[in-house]
């Protein structure tokens, strides 16, 4: 039996086979790593972010519902009962959304949350009955003990869900970093072996894979360090390009979420100046007609000086709740409306013109109905308070009113959000000079000014 000779051609064939085998192994391994990294990035975006945002939102809703319960016990105002029920429906809606997502059911245990929330709402009904029977002390005891315990249990479960989701996101980010580093190193080893074999094709193939891996590894490290503006320079139409796009989207979402978290008002929870400017800019660029409403409270500073900043903060929070409640009266249009808190007693409503006027009219009406609750009986009867002005002189100040200035555009007049916001602020200062609570539209003001009337136009809607 003669042995097969290892000829040059056969050596070349074996060498090519070995090179091809190494290349195939490198590609298969890299594609598997890319798929794994892509899956991890997908889960971070569509699972971890979702659970973090949902749990935070549900905690805020739960605390708002508890706040309405406490205010109802103290003030016995049916409007707080309505707010309580509205927050309850929002909480139940979030629970249903969780139940529709299989990955969230095992982590969130929505059935347990639903059971606790139902018990909490049942306790509120008992508190209402006790209040109606003038058994106030029993109602407060029930609220402080049983209701408070249920709130703490639900909040604890939601905080645990949020913390677990954040840990899972950190774990997946670390896994992406580790897998990216490992894949890069193994690919470089295969590259070295292929270079020893001496085939340029294998070297080119490996470099084609290793370079984007290095960029993705660097991008992972930079994003992990908080540099959300860093983008890997990868323009491809394959799995690597898809992963690079996923990294870019993830970085944008992280940056946006962090900015919104830092920008949101800690008092009302409404978006702050960055989000407001971004929303105005977006609507101007879309060239669709919309209205910007600047909401301001009249005589708020004397009120806060007279009653203290803490009670003034309660007024600000209540105005935020009024805005949300006014929005909730038309849930079919809720997604088209943006609410923001500039700061202090200044708020913003952004909506289509008809909806903006509806909300403004509703806010004027509700504000005038409810604001007197924040004054003492003595001041309510007098219809004014006495407080120091900026020069330190005591003066009479009327009860607070609300002024809303409405500016409308379709992206043709205002070059940027700052110009439009400045126009709304100017119109607001004009409207504040009118007595009582008002909302004023820019076109009405211009029509009145164009008529040559010397007296200020009145758009009182209280």
Q: Are residues 233 and 337 in the same domain?
A: no
Q: Are residues 83 and 225 in the same domain?
A: yes
Element at 293 (helix H, strand E)? strand 290-298
Q: Are residues 27 and 109 in the same domain?
A: yes
For residue 250, with 0-12 CB atoms within 10 Å meaning exposed, 13-18 middle and 19 or more buried, which class applies?
Answer: buried
The closest alpha carbon to 244, from 38, 25, 90, belongs to 38
Q: Are residues 47 and 183 in the same domain?
A: yes
Q: Are residues 410 and 320 in the same domain?
A: yes
Q: Determine contact, residues 327/86, Cβ cutoff 8 Å.
A: no
Grouping H, G, I as helix, E, B as strand and the rest as coil, residue 99 is: helix
- Range(s) of the domain holding residue 212: 8-261
- Domain assignment present for residue 459? The answer is no
Element at 295 (helix H, strand E)? strand 290-298
Element at 350 (helix H, strand E)? strand 346-351
**Distance of alpha carbon 140 from alpha carbon 122, whole angstroms:** 15
Q: Determine contact, residues 367/319, Cβ cutoff 8 Å.
A: yes
Q: Are residues 327 and 209 in the same domain?
A: no
Number of domains in the chain: 2
pTM exceeds cut of 0.85? no
Q: Are residues 161 and 29 in the same domain?
A: yes
Structure tokens at 48: 């971890």
- Return the pLDDT at 195: 72
- Domain assignment present for residue 310? The answer is yes
Q: Determine contact, residues 267/67, Cβ cutoff 8 Å.
A: no
Q: Are residues 191 and 224 in the same domain?
A: yes
- Domain assignment present for residue 277? The answer is yes
Q: How far is CA 186 from CA 193, 199, 323, 424, in A?
A: 11, 18, 57, 60
- List beta partners, residue 341: 347
**Distance of alpha carbon 142 from alpha carbon 72, whole angstroms:** 14
- Domain assignment present for residue 252? The answer is yes
Q: Are residues 280 and 251 in the same domain?
A: no
Q: List the Cα angle 412/427/461 in 5-degree steps.
A: 110
Query: String of b and e for 95-108 (b: at least 16 CB within 10 Å)?
Result: beebeebeebeebb
The closest alpha carbon to 176, from 211, 208, 224, belongs to 224
Tell which of 240, 261, 282 closes a domain.
261
CATH classification of the domain holding 433: 3.30.70.270
Rounded to 5 degrees, what are φ and ψ at 371? -65, -30
- Domain assignment present for residue 136? The answer is yes
- Domain assignment present for residue 26? The answer is yes
Tell which of 235, 261, 287 closes a domain.
261
Residue 239: CB atoms within 10 A of its CB come to 16
Structure tokens at 337: 């409306």
Query: String of b and e for 377-393 (b: at least 16 CB within 10 Å)?
Result: eebeeeeebebeeeeee
DSSP-derived secondary structure letter, 334: G
**Distance of alpha carbon 96 from alpha carbon 90, whole angstroms:** 10
Q: How many residues appear in the chain?
A: 462
**Distance of alpha carbon 199 from alpha carbon 203, whole angstroms:** 7
**Distance of alpha carbon 438 from alpha carbon 406, whole angstroms:** 11
Q: How many helices (H) and strands (E) does the chain have?
A: 16, 7
Q: Are residues 71 and 25 in the same domain?
A: yes
Q: Are residues 230 and 281 in the same domain?
A: no
Q: Determine contact, residues 116/150, Cβ cutoff 8 Å.
A: yes
- Domain assignment present for residue 144? The answer is yes
Structure tokens at 374: 């924040």
- Domain assignment present for residue 438? The answer is yes
**pLDDT, mean of each 10-residue run, the chain (462 residues):** 44 61 72 76 80 88 89 88 90 87 80 89 90 88 89 88 85 82 75 70 68 69 60 67 68 58 72 89 92 94 91 92 79 71 92 92 94 92 87 88 94 92 90 88 73 43 36
Tell which of 261, 285, 320 closes a domain.
261
Q: Are residues 76 and 15 in the same domain?
A: yes
């Amino acid at each position: 039996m003669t042995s097969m000779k290892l000829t040059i051609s056969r050596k070349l064939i074996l060498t090519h086979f070995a090179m091809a085998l190494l290349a195939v192994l490198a590609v298969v391994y890299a594609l598997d790593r890319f798929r794994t990294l892509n899956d991890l990035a997908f889960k971070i975006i569509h699972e971890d972010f979702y659970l973090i945002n949902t749990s935070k939102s549900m905690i805020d809703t739960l605390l708002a519902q508890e706040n309405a319960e406490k205010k109802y016990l103290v003030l016995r105002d049916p409007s707080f009962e309505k707010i309580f029920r509205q927050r309850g429906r929002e909480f139940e809606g979030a629970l249903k959304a969780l139940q529709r997502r299989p990955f969230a059911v095992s982590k969130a245990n929505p059935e347990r949350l639903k059971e606790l929330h139902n018990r909490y709402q049942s306790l509120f009904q008992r508190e209402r009955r006790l209040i109606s029977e003038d058994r106030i002390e029993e109602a407060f005891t029930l609220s402080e003990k049983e209701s408070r315990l249920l709130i703490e249990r639900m909040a604890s479960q939601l905080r645990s869900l949020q913390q677990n989701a954040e840990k899972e996101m950190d774990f997946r980010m670390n896994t992406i970093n580790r897998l990216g580093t490992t894949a890069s190193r193994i690919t470089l080893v295969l590259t070295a072996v292929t270079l020893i074999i001496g085939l340029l094709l294998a070297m080119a193939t490996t470099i084609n894979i290793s370079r984007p891996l290095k960029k993705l590894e660097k991008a992972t490290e930079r994003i992990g360090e908080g540099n959300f503006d860093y983008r890997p320079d990868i323009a491809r139409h394959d799995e690597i390009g898809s992963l690079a796009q996923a990294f870019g989207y993830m970085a944008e979402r992280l940056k946006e979420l962090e900015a919104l978290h830092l920008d949101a008002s800690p008092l009302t929870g409404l978006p702050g100046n960055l989000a407001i400017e971004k929303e105005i800019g977006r609507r101007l660029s879309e060239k669709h007609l919309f209205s910007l409403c600047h909401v301001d409270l009249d005589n708020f500073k004397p009120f806060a000086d007279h009653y203290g900043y803490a009670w003034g903060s309660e007024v600000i929070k209540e105005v935020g709740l009024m805005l949300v409640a006014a929005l909730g009266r038309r849930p079919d249009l809720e997604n088209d409306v943006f609410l923001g808190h500039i700061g202090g007693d200044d708020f913003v409503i952004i909506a289509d013109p008809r909806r903006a006027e509806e909300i403004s009219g509703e806010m004027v009406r509700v504000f005038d109905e409810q604001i007197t609750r924040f004054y003492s009986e003595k001041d309510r009867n007098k219809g004014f308070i006495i407080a120091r002005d900026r020069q330190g002189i005591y003066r009479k100040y009327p009860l607070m009113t609300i002024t809303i200035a409405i500016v409308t555009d379709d992206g043709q007049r205002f070059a940027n959000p700052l110009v439009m916001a400045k126009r709304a602020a100017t119109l607001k200062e004009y409207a504040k000079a009118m007595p009582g609570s008002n909302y004023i539209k820019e076109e009405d003001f211009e029509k009145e000014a164009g008529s040559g009337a010397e007296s200020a136009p009145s758009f009182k809607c209280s």
